[in-house]
A and B are shown apart, each in its own frame.
Chain A
Amino acid sequence: MAGARWAQEELLAKNPRADVRVFVIWFRMYPGDAESKWPRELLTDRRVEHRWDEPKAAGRWFLTNLRSLRPSRGGDGVFPQRVDALWDSYLLFDRTATWDDTPSGVLSWGYTLLRTRAQLLRDFQFAIANR
């Protein structure tokens, strides 16, 4: 959750006019995780949508398909180990990205959020400036 807090403060609050759209997918990864523990006070910006993903469909899908996405601005390629879903992670896409079978236009992705936040900050600034 520290990563989500960081994103609210450093990406969204500091760039109130950026036309970015954010989708936050919450799901269970540790024993004790629960929908009821969703921190509703985090990422309350109007540009953000939240969902609960009980079957971890999105995390599983991205873990399976991540290697085919080829981020244009690189990344260190560190994957979570011995888990069944990509989590504590971000994926950033450019303006032209579309999703047919798989999404195009990946600028970068990172695991964990806090470990890769410097890259996310750089690529976020690039994405919102590049009109």
Chain B
Amino acid sequence: MKAIRSIVAVLALAVLALPHPAPASSTLAQLRGMQELKSWFNTFNGHPRLIFLVSPT
């Protein structure tokens, strides 16, 4: 029984350690112009950055 509890605890910790998706947001924020994009871009200097331009087609 003790061994099963240990296994369950290890599995639970492993699941918690996995990267989780963010909860899907219910609203889509408006882009506050190119200044907001530029600000986001410069905030994450030091990271690779990827911009997608897409339509909900």
Contacts and interface: CB of A to CB of B under 8 A. Distances in A.
B52 A90 contact: yes
A54 B30 CA distance: 8
Contacts of A95: 45-48
Contact of B28 (A19, A35, A128): A35
A53 B31 contact: yes
Interface in B2-36: 18-26, 28-31, 33-34, 36
Interface residues of B, number: 35
Interface of B: 18-26, 28-31, 33-34, 36-38, 40-42, 44-57
Interface of A: 1, 3-4, 7, 11, 16-30, 32-35, 37-41, 43-46, 48-54, 57-59, 61-62, 85-99, 103, 113, 124, 127-128, 130
Given A21-B50, A94-B48, 20 more contacts: A1-B54, A7-B50, A16-B19, A17-B19, A20-B49, A20-B50, A25-B53, A39-B56, A40-B25, A44-B21, A44-B23, A45-B21, A51-B30, A53-B31, A86-B53, A88-B53, A90-B51, A92-B49, A93-B49, A97-B49
